[in-house]
Amino acid sequence: MVVDYKALKSGGFMRQKQKDRFSLRLKVVGGNLTAGQIRTIADMSQKYGDGHIHLTSRQGVEIPFIRLADVEKVKADLEAGGVFTGVCGPRVRTVTACQGSEICPSGCIDTYALAQAISRRYFGRELPHKFKFGVTGCQNNCLKAEENDLGVKGGCRVSWEEESCTFCGVCLKACREGALSLRDRKILLAADLCNNCGRCFQSCPAGAWKGEPGYLVSFGGMFGNRIARGRQILPLLQDTESLFRAADAALAFFDRHARPGERFRTAIDRAGWDAFAAAIQESRAAPEYRIDETLDITDVVCPVTFAKALAALEELEEGRVLSIRMNDGEPAQNVPRSLKDEGHQILRLVDNADGTCTLITRKVGG
């Protein structure tokens, strides 16, 4: 029997030095597994491996010593327990994340929700070389965002409300960058020193500091045979649509400019950082449409979702743009396709990183 080792590797089965044995890489998004998934993995290790698992440096789990003859059986048994195989080779790898704002007091963003959204959008996509996303919740940078091809670090855009301030000085002590000063009973923020850490906002006992969460994005990091720190070339991004536009542009640049087998950072260095920065800045341009009406169908299920979306479009004049918020999953898969089949134009589908999506569509025809 001819064995397609390349196909096995792309599906997460990595050859070991022992003949016909594989270490199986599993898909673990954001470092999170349920207790049930852990039990499934342990059972599969005992049934198909040698009874142990390996935890990787990127929050992954691998089951070594899988026999070639058991490849399909172990995949089926894992999936029955809610566990799926990972990927290897030249494609987008498992997305890593720290615990973020849902658990960590320092976190500025919900890292796990964002890691899931990134994974849904990009996981397994084929590229000239492997590509790694990492999400960390704040400037403490526990996940080392700049080591990734594309790193996301949580941040806050802060503002001070004088009328709420008791001038206790807690924020001045909390700021590690020396960006805050007290002068004539006013707290002054030096924008050129602020790193968007949000510590003033998080520490203020009076609620005088307000914080709007956002994303600090770095590009071109790598940590292996060659070590390079990712560079931040954008200001704080404050919505997932802007983040995904930048990520889309980065991956498109990689696809267009990289030579076969060339890492993202190497491709940027060779093509030029000015050219890369121009491509990323272009992604920030305002969309060529204006929202005319909005519709929320998160409270209904398929096929009613499509019926409501179509009815809303029928109320509009030709050329008008409708924004539709819907649940992720089946609605996000079916509604855009069905509206396109009806002849309407799909402008954008945005993952809101909260279990919902926003579909932007233009009415075509009377």
Give me 167's structure tokens: 């001038």
Average pLDDT, integer, range 194-201: 96
Domain 293-362 class, CATH top level: alpha beta
Q: What are phi and psi of 8, to 5 degrees?
A: -60, -45
Inform me whether the pLDDT recorded for 352 exceeds 80: no
Inform me whether the pLDDT recorded for 285 exceeds 80: no
Domain 5-80 class, CATH top level: alpha beta
pLDDT-wise least confident of 21-25, 223-227, 332-336: 332-336
Inform me whether the pLDDT recorded for 70 exceeds 70: yes
Say what the pTM is: 0.80
Inform me whether the pLDDT recorded for 307 exceeds 90: yes
Where does CATH 3.30.110.40 sit in the chain? 293-362
Give tens-digit pLDDT for 228-279.
Answer: 999 999 999 998 989 999 999 999 999 999 998 999 999 999 999 999 999 9
Give tens-digit pLDDT for 153-192.
Answer: 999 999 999 999 999 999 999 999 999 999 999 999 999 9
Local confidence band at 95 (pLDDT 50, 70, 90 cut-offs): very high
pLDDT of residue 309: 94
Average pLDDT, integer, range 134-138: 98
Domain 96-282 class, CATH top level: alpha beta
Local confidence band at 47 (pLDDT 50, 70, 90 cut-offs): very high
Residue, of 366 and 30, whose pLDDT is higher: 30
Where does CATH 3.30.413.10 sit in the chain? 96-282
Where does CATH 3.30.70.3340 sit in the chain? 5-80
What mean pLDDT, rounded, does the chain reach? 94
Inform me whether the pLDDT recorded for 286 exceeds 70: no
Residue, of 286 and 172, whose pLDDT is higher: 172
